Every structure is written in C-alpha cells, then in structure tokens.
Structure 1
Amino acid sequence: MRYTFFITVFMLLQLFSTGAALSLQWWLAPWSTFISKVAVWVIVFAITNILLALSVKRAFANSYRWVSMWMLIMHFIMLTALVISIFYGGYWLLSSFTSVGSMQSIRLEVGLRVLALFTFIGLFVYALYSAYVPVVRELRIQIDKHLSHPLRLALASDLHIGRLFGNRAIDKLHKLLIDNRADILLMPGDIMDDNTQAFNDYNMAANLAKLCAAVPYGVYATLGNHDLYGHEQSISEALREAGVQLLNDEVLRIEHKGDPLWLVGRFDNHKSQRVATTDLLAQTDMAEPIILLDHRPSDIMEHSQLPIDLQVSGHTHNGQVFPANFIVNAINRIGYGYETINQGHFVVSSGYGFWGIPFRLGSRAEIWLITLTGNK
C-alpha cells in the first residue's frame, strides 16, 4: 500500500510537470529560443523531483508542504492555460470570419499573456481567501422526536490547528459562535494538524479555553485521522485541558433546557479497533434525540438504517482544491453537504481549516449553524 501511494504521487507529479511545462512554453513563446524551451522543461522537472526526493528523505520539517505548494502552483498554471485556451479558441473562431491584421494579432497575443498572468494571480488570491475567510451555512432540521426548544448547534470540523491556522482562526470561530448564538459546538475530528507543537508554542490553549467557556452547553469533539498519527495522548490532553469534551467511542447524555439529548462520538477508522456504532447506540435511550459525531462519512448508508437523528462528519474538505471535489463526491454517498436518508439527517462539512497549505478552490472554509427542532 505504501509503495502504491508513492508511485501514484510520483506519476501525478510527473503529469503535472508535463502540463505546467507545456503551459509555460506557450506563455513564453514570443520571447523563447530553443535553449529556453529546453530550460523550461529541465527547471520544472528538476524542482518537482528534487522536492519529492527531499520529502521522501524527510530532509526538513513539513517537507510535504513544499511538494503540495509546488503541485498547487503547477495546477494553477494548467488551470490558467485552460481558461486562456477558451479565449484563444474564440479568437481563432473570430479570425476565421473576419480579417485580422498582423498588428491586431500581436496585440491579442500579448493581451492573452497579460490576462494569463492576472488569472494566475487571481486564482491564488481567491484560493487564499476561501481558506481563511469562513462562511456560515445555516440549516434547519426537524426530527421526529421530542424537543420542546430549538437547539442551535454549530459544526466546525477539520480545524487542523497548527502553524498556519492558529489563534486568529480560533478567535474568529469564537466570534462566529457568539454572533450566531450557538448553544453547542461539535467538532468531528482532525482538530490538530498531526501534533500539539504549534498549539503549545503559540499558547493556543488560552484562546481555545475562552472559546469553550463561551459556548453555553459545551464543546464536544471526536478524534480524526490526523489526531491519531502518533500524538493521540498529547492531543487528547491538550483538548481536555482547554475544556473540550472528547467522545472517543463514548456516549454522553446532556440536557438542553430540560430536553434530553444523546451525543455519540466515534474514533476515526484509522483506529484499528473501534467500537461499532450499534454497540454505542445500545448505551443510549433510542427514544430520545441522538446526534453522532463520526469523522469520515464512509458509513453513512449503514447509519441511515439506525435510529440516528443527525450525523455530523468532515474529513473530505470537499476536495479542498478543484477538481478533487468531484472525486470525493464520487467515492462517498455524501462527499459534501446535507441530505436526508430514511429518518436520519446527515451533514458533511468541508471543514473550518485546511490540510497542508492554506488554499481552497471549489471549496470554502465554513461552519454550519444547524437549528434542530422536534415534536413538542
């Protein structure tokens, strides 16, 4: 499996390098020579494979971020070329019906290259904005169980707290919860970005503790795959000390204005031995509202056959960068969004943070504000 993953990444990087080199050749065409054309290919492939080798050797901390960043740059170069090719096609279609002078043709060639530069910069700015400026998605759900008062439930998955996503992001989430009068916050996994080093270095515990204290009915979380990559204990301790109540293969009965409510939390399936959902539900009163926190949305169809009123998940990031959103939606029953299946309601968030590098395209940082109502 490990070798298969490496070969897949290697082949993808070579494919991206080919596309990026061809796109750059077009952009440099008016000023290029044979030597410069060769140089483009050599430089692009050299950067790709040197970064890949350094990442495999783990020559420096977070080397995968550099590979990811370079891959994103190449991806945006190719997307830019795709956009410009549409304008290019329009130009050739127009020129086939009208007479276009040589001077006009030169101006258009230069104009298209200027447009390509601004398109490339625009993609970066927009992707950065989408990663750091979250949107609040509101949803109203009615369940067929007793709830005498509406519950305002906030969902923030996949924070990936680390060096690139820290105190400002926590404070912004704090403000969003207050502004939207959230009663409770659920965080279904990937709270930390692999470890607690940045969390400790920048004293994020104080900011997270203030957030937890501001939520009237508490903050509840489960651990995702990135929380289980060798630092489960330190991550769990840091979250609990800040006031987060972890539900790792556990159930908890709480009350909201006199109404009982069951919270069920599952370990991510990266944990080789985790409790089955049916065993966890056996510990609840199934006549009362049940909310499940499950990091991955991979078991949604099985859970739709169980007496679960609401499941909240994350993990997919809605692909994070286009066109990966099509892939996650193809391999999951719900790769992103909200759907009702049988009597259950299922929400899969794209996440409040991001993985690896701070860019999103075709995906947006978000929290969900779910107003849960029932029978009175």
Structure 2
Amino acid sequence: MLAFVAVILLVIGLTYAYLWKRLVLDTLRPGRARRVSAGIAVVLGLLAPATLFGVRSGYLKWLAWPGYLWIALMFYLLVSLIALEIPRLALRLLWVDRRRTGKAVETAPDTADSEPVLASVAATAGGSGVSEAADDSTPETVTAGTAGESGAATEDGGIDRRLLLARGAAIFAGLTAASVTGYGIRTATSAPRIDRVRIPIAKLPRAMDGTRLAVVSDIHLGPLTGIGHTERITRVINSVDADLVCVVGDLVDGTVAELGRLAEPLRGIESRRGAYFVTGNHEYYSGFQPWIDEVAELGMRPLRNERVEIDGLDLAGVNDLGGEQFGDPADFRRALGDRDTSRPVVLMAHQPLAARDAAPYGVDLQVSGHTHGGQMAPFNLLVKLQQPVVSGLGRVDGVPVYVTNGAGFWGPPVRVGAPPQVTVIELRVA
C-alpha cells in the first residue's frame, strides 16, 4: 500500500512540476502576478492528493466535486501541453533558422552583385518596422508596436517571442482542457447508452437461442452520485427486456451504511430469468460481505465461485481477482471444474484478465467490466498494459471476452471516448 501511495504522489508531483513550468514560469515574468499564481498553484497542488486519499477515507468528502474536477482538468492540461511540444519546437527551430539566414545576408561581401540584395533586405526591413540591428541583437523578438499590448517588452522595445509562444500555448491548452472536461462531465452524468451485440455459441440449446443478457458493470455508487444515478441505470436495464441481468462488479464506493439508500432503486430491476451479481475490486475496499448480503436483499443473486443451470445453459460467477488480498479469492475450479461440458457456460468475472484462469475450463463466453473502456482517452492506451481487452469483444487464450464500458465512473465524473454503457448480448446458436 505504501508503494502504491508513493507512486501516486510521484506521478502527481511530476505532472505538477511540468504544469508549473509551462503555465507559470514560462508565461509570467518575476513579479506580483507570478507570486499570486504561485499561491494558487500551491493550493491546487495539495488538492489532488487530498482528494484521492481524503475522499476515499471518508474524512474529506466535501472535496469530491472540486477535487476530482481539478484532477480531470489537470490531466487534460497535461495531454494538451504535451501535444503542443512538437509544434512549439518546430517554431523555435524556424525562428533560429530565419535568424541565421538574416545574419548570412548581413555579412555577405560588399560587391556590386550583392548591392541589389542588400537594398531589397533594407527595403523590407524598413517597410515592416523592424531594424536590422534589433533583429541581430534580439533574435527572439517581434515589433515594439505589439509590445505595449502584451506587457512582454524586451529592453530594445521588442517582444520576447518565446514568451508569446508560451502564453499562446497556455491559453490554447487551457481552453482545450476546459472544453474536453466539460464534454466529459456531460457524457459521464448522462444515461448509459445501449450497445447490442450478437455472439454465437456452438453448444447453445435451441430453446435458448436469442437469449438476451443485459450486462452492466462499474455503477460506482459513491460520493459524487445521487439516487438519480441509480434510477437512470435501472430504467435503461429494464428498457431492454432482458432474459438475464449480469452485474459484473464495482457496484459501490462506500459502505452499506453510507450508500444503501442509493442502491435501493436496483430492487426494481426486471428480467425473465433473474439478476446475478459478482464482486469487483471496489466491493473489497467497501466491506464486501455486508454488500453481498445487501445485494441479495435487493433481489440479485450473488454468484460466489459458483454456477447455476438455466435451461441447458450454465451461468457461472467468480469473485474478483483482488479478493485474494481479503481472504475471498476467485476459485475457478469450484465454479467450473465439475460441470457437464456438453452444456455451454457463460462466466461472469469482473476483470477481463480472469479469462486466462478460466481458459482451461472451456468457457464459451466471459462477460466483464473493470476497465471503464479507459474512461478518459487517451488513458485507454495505458489500460491495455494491464488488461487484455479494454472494450468490446476480444479473445483471451481462446476465450471470447466481452468487456462493457460500465454504467458509472470512478474518480473524476468525466468520460471521454468511452460513454457509459449497458450492453445487451444476444446469444445465438452457432
């Protein structure tokens, strides 16, 4: 745990150092404005770690909204500024090249052949209001006429081009980050969209052909969600007229005492053949046993390393892989080891990674969540380093694995490139 905390603090520290350099040191000259900005930066610098650790512990819940929104904004400021590094470097190299070209012209031999060129250069310089002397001594400046507007005048009356470039990049990154974050908030707090997919299963009984599974994960009831969040998700689930509802973990981010009332609308989930639940890693952070009892009371059957037979189809569920740290590990042998292999089996497992352990048991389909589809692009590229499938249908060691984006959010109430989702899987005879 200490190692995890150290890594988080290191990442935040490095990110903040970069943002401080690009948004404050590069854009403001020493003086009052920089001192005020430094004070604001110190407060914001403490806000991110205070939110990540204070909200989760329950002591600083009031920081949830401002803290998580700042974390999202900080992330997209980082992404925007990094994306601007290449054009920033290209402009700097262009200016250096133009400076060298200008010097080469000025130092050319004073011959008859060169006089027309020098005359042309002088005429151009005069027309633009930039003297040759100023260009030679301050290669990174533009005309003094603009200097008064920017407040970034150099000693000879020009404007530091590097300062203008830094300010322009900061403004662009700020507008981009704010726009993307705003779009992400609207997406994350809206009703989940319905994604439909047909998956053939070779051993599926004819009687089960066309069976619809509503797969939902990562609802994440917590300090940023109200009861409306749960009601929206329940309405979407009920709208698909599912035969089976599979809730594949990460239902909550808090205790039953704190969030039990927010889970109450799940009692209204409708399905022809029942609703089932498996634990995710966040249930273990929140007190998994009370939530297992609460989920059962709400009408969903927890599958605890076990399976049920439904008209010739086995539906199995395993505890989350993270349960091992809490004395509640996934047990694939118990869930799948002694089954009738002539029947197809659909496995509910929170993490796509679980398919590697399920593969030896001939699983026909695994449904999972956990990844949030990346939640905030381009973070999805990092998720690929830890999970074999990030979103949609893939194969892991021969097992078809469908990963739904999740219906809620964790941390920042922001989703970019991975909208909230309830997936309807229609099982078909191959």
TM-score by length of 1: 0.82
Q: Which residue of 1 aligns with 2:313?
A: 261
Paired residues for 1:142-157 under 5 Å? 142-148=200-206, 149-157=209-217
Larger Rg: 2
Q: Which residue of 2 aligns with 1:9?
A: 8
Q: Does 1:179 align with 2:234?
A: no
CA distance in 1, matches of 2:50, 2:233: 38
**Equivalent of 2:196 in 107, 131, 138:** 138
Q: Secondary structure at the match of 1:323?
A: coil
AA of the residue aligned to 2:390? G
**Greater RCO structure (CA 8 Å; 6+ sep):** 1
C-alpha deviations, 1:65-114, integer Å up to 9, x for none?
Answer: 46554433322222333455567578779988999985789799787665
Consecutive unaligned residues in structure 2, runs of 5 or more: 99-123, 129-141, 151-163
Q: Which residue of 2 aligns with 1:363?
A: 418
Say how many residue pairs are matched.
364
**Aligned-pair CA distance for 1:161:** 1.6
Contact 2:356 2:397 in 1 (8 A): no
Contact 1:141 1:370 in 2 (8 A): yes
CA distance in 1, matches of 2:350, 2:329: 13
Q: Does 1:221 align with 2:277?
A: yes
CA distance in 2, matches of 1:266, 1:166: 29
Contact 1:55 1:63 in 2 (8 A): no
Paired residues for 1:103-182 under 5 Å? 115-133=172-190, 134-148=192-206, 149-182=209-242
Q: Secondary structure at the match of 1:288?
A: coil
Q: Which residue of 1 aligns with 2:81?
A: 81
Q: Which residue of 2 aligns with 1:40?
A: 37
AA of the residue aligned to 1:48? G
CA distance in 1, matches of 2:178, 2:286: 38
C-alpha deviations, 1:194-214, integer Å up to 9, x for none?
Answer: 322443345x41x2111x2x2
Contact 1:13 1:71 in 2 (8 A): no
* Closer, same or farther: CA 115–343 of 1 in aligned 2, 3 Å: closer
C-alpha deviations, 1:2-40, integer Å up to 9, x for none?
Answer: 2211211111111111122123227854xx544433543
**Aligned-pair CA distance for 1:142:** 0.4
CA distance in 2, matches of 1:84, 1:340: 36
Identity %: 23
Q: Secondary structure at the match of 1:136?
A: strand
CA distance in 2, matches of 1:279, 1:307: 14
**Equivalent of 1:234 in 290, 314, 318:** 290
CA distance in 1, matches of 2:396, 2:8: 35
* Closer, same or farther: CA 296–125 of 1 in aligned 2, 3 Å: same
CA distance in 1, matches of 2:8, 2:215: 32
Contact 1:293 1:312 in 2 (8 A): yes
**Aligned-pair CA distance for 1:233:** 2.7
CA distance in 2, matches of 1:350, 1:130: 13
CA distance in 2, matches of 1:312, 1:127: 26
AA of the residue aligned to 2:235? K
**Aligned-pair CA distance for 1:345:** 1.4
AA of the residue aligned to 2:283? D
C-alpha deviations, 1:185-229, integer Å up to 9, x for none?
Answer: 111111112322443345x41x2111x2x2222211101121122
CA distance in 1, matches of 2:46, 2:282: 26
Consecutive unaligned residues in structure 1, runs of 5 or more: none
**Equivalent of 2:379 in 321, 324, 349:** 324
CA distance in 2, matches of 1:281, 1:370: 21
Contact 2:199 2:425 in 1 (8 A): yes
Q: Which stretch of the first structure deviates more once superposed, 148-157 or 123-132? A: 123-132
AA of the residue aligned to 2:402? V
Contact 2:214 2:425 in 1 (8 A): yes
CA distance in 1, matches of 2:93, 2:429: 59
Contact 1:54 1:60 in 2 (8 A): no
Q: Does 1:303 align with 2:302?
A: no
C-alpha deviations, 1:153-200, integer Å up to 9, x for none?
Answer: 111111112342343233322332343332221111111123224433
* Closer, same or farther: CA 135–23 of 1 in aligned 2, 3 Å: farther
Q: Secondary structure at the match of 2:406?
A: coil
**Aligned-pair CA distance for 1:56:** 5.7
Q: Which stretch of the first structure deviates more once superposed, 7-16 or 353-362? A: 353-362
**Equivalent of 2:260 in 190, 197, 200:** 200
**Aligned-pair CA distance for 1:370:** 1.1
The RMSD of aligned alpha carbons is: 3.4
